[in-house]
Structure 1
Amino acid sequence: MKVIPLRARAGITGFESPATDYYQLPLSLDELLIEHPSATFIGQAAGDSMQGVGIFDGDVLIVDRHVMVRSGDVIVANLNGEFVCKLIDTRRKLLLSANESHQPVPVLEWDQFSIEGVVIRSIRCHRPSKVLEAS
């Protein structure tokens, strides 16, 4: 892939010519987005509970199972058979939404709960993806 950097500044009504200061940078989206390929999976966000951290309905989530979970991380977990994407409060054992209209969810001792991984990146598709529509 060849990258043509376009630097747009506030107040400019157009873009510089792509030929201006043209140079090539090698760029692999795999290397940029995925740190541990054998421990990474991709999911799709559903709902509005994580909008406060910039994750919206339909966003693509890159989830890393190798990363150590820290309090405050955005995680994907299995809670009683349902996959959820939430902020985790490890000290209080709570799953938190990033939207005030959703209440915190306590993780109780009888719950079936497993953390599937930490969301390390999220991607927003501004046009529908044929790949995502097919799933």
Structure 2
Amino acid sequence: MQVNQKITFFVPDFQNPIETSFITSEIKAGFPSPAADFEESKVSLDHMLIKNKEATFYAKASGNSMIGAGIDDGDILVIDRSLEPRNNAVAVCFIDGEFTVKRIKKTDEAIFLMPENSNYTPIQIQPHNEFIIWGIVTYVIKQIK
């Protein structure tokens, strides 16, 4: 079984949120609007990205097994432990003493942890595995290279 995804967890700091400027009008990814006016307000990303404060954690992903899902090495995952696991959700799972992030695939016969990189094989959960779906990934924060 190849897990190959190290995850480092962080707890959001709600006591000291950092508010930054937020442009409330849309920013076009196509052709720019000439002389577009914009309104600016303040926003805390913690408040935008986190719905369940007591059950949400950040984690730093390591590895490339989920590149097809947009999760690259070094990305920050926002994980909500209060959400119910569902088929095809991207989840942080604990299997046999290791954390991994994979897509959940449930069939009538089994549960699989599906990588999003063809260099990795799916992990079929067996009765002997110690297995917990730890939380559901709700957002990925990444640095543009």
TM-score range, shorter chain: 0.7 to 0.9
Tell me if structure 2 keeps the 8 A contact 1:6–1:16.
no
Tell me if structure 2 keeps the 8 A contact 1:49–1:99.
yes
Q: Residues 84-106 of structure 1: CA distance to partner in whole angstroms, max 9, x if unpaired?
A: 00001122311000011110101
* TM norm structure 2: 0.75
1:22 aligns with 2:22: no
SS of corresponding position for 1:103: coil
1:89 aligns with 2:81: no
Deviation for aligned residue 1:22: 3.2
Of 123, 129, 132, 2:141 maps to 123
SS of corresponding position for 1:25: strand
1:69 aligns with 2:85: yes
Q: Give distance in 2, aligned partners of 1:38 and 1:10.
A: 39
Q: Give distance in 2, aligned partners of 1:82 and 1:26.
A: 39
Structure showing greater relative contact order (alpha-carbon pairs closer than 8 Å, 6 or more residues apart): 2
Gaps of 5+ in 1: 128-135
The structure where helix makes up a greater share of residues is: 1
* TM norm structure 1: 0.81
The structure where strand makes up a greater share of residues is: 2
Q: 1:6/1:71 Cα in 2 relative to 1: closer, same or farther (>3 Å)?
A: closer
Q: Residues 49-73 of structure 1: CA distance to partner in whole angstroms, max 9, x if unpaired?
A: 0000100000000110001110100
> Identity over the aligned pairs, expressed in percent?
32
Q: How many residues align?
A: 123
Deviation for aligned residue 1:6: 7.0
